[in-house]
Amino acid sequence: MRAWWREITGLVLPVACGGCGSPRTPLCEPCGRALYGTWPCRVRPVPEPPGLPAVHAAAPYEDAVRAVLLAHKERGALGLAAPLGQALAGAVRAAAPPGTGVGPLLLVPVPSTRRAVGARGHDAGRRVALAAAGELRRSGRECRVLPVLRQRRPVADQAGLGARQRQANLSGALEVAVGGTRLLEGGRVVLVDDLMTTGASLAEGARALRAAMGPGIPGFVPVSAAVVAAPPLSFEINRN
């Protein structure tokens, strides 16, 4: 009911920019440039969790980008999924450029907890992944979304936890659903999420995928990752 109501209100209520609040547009031009107007970069959190794949992000998590992500995820501004998907598609292109690997792009969203999805009324990460896949297909890339990761045990709320606490909280928490390994064969797997903070969720998702897709699987390729946004410090990868 909540998701249905948000879809309807998004059509009938006045629209304001999700980044700055400017009227009569879901995303103004300056906020759009902040979200997807630059070439995505390789990002690394500090500290970098063990097993984290190569991650590319479209934009730093600050100012308008932060406001847009929160408006979509927490306040149900579902119309922002399209521009967020455009940003994520750019990060996916950087993570898996044309000509690398064989087969279609397979976007695997990091799953949200049932509790979080229920509280928000929608699965924000999966919605953005679907929008990104559509954007990639329109540009000529064969792509589909495979939500094959699932939680195998309960986890605590990540809010307020430090980097090492998040790693411990998520360690061994994810697995590939029964039948999921077969779906992953022969494609270029990219783990996707809307936001990377400490990298713990991406590292655990990559571990679960690697466990299911070991090098003995035909068509195995290393897992890479792409996100809409990451902390500004994560963009400074050339550190002494």
Report which of 236, 227, 235 is spatially closest to residue 94, judged by C-alpha positions: 227
- Dump pLDDT digits (tens) for 107-131: 999 998 777 776 777 889 999 999 9
Residue 26 banded pLDDT, cuts 50, 70, 90: confident
Buried b (16+ CB within 10 A) or exposed e, 186-211: bbbbbbbbbbbbbbbbbbbbbbbbbe
- Dump pLDDT digits (tens) for 3-15: 444 444 444 444 7
Q: Which amino acid is at 115?
A: R
The per-residue pLDDT for 135 is 97
pLDDT at 240 > cutoff 50: no
How many helices (H) and strands (E) would you count in the chain?
Answer: 9, 8
Q: Quick one: residue 76, left, alpha or beta (phi over 0 = left, psi -120 to 50 = alpha)?
A: left
- Dump pLDDT digits (tens) for 131-150: 999 999 999 999 999 999 98
Q: Which residue has the higher pLDDT, 30 or 222?
A: 30
Query: Which two tokens mark 84?
Result: 């967020």
The per-residue pLDDT for 165 is 64
What average pLDDT does range 168-173 have in this prediction?
Answer: 61
The per-residue pLDDT for 213 is 78
- Dump pLDDT digits (tens) for 40-94: 999 999 989 999 999 999 999 999 999 999 999 988 888 999 999 999 999 999 9
CB contact at 8 A, 111 and 153: no
pTM, 2 dp: 0.86
CB contact at 8 A, 93 and 156: no
Rounded mean pLDDT of the chain?
Answer: 84
- Interhelix angle for 63-73 vs 29-36, to 10°? 90
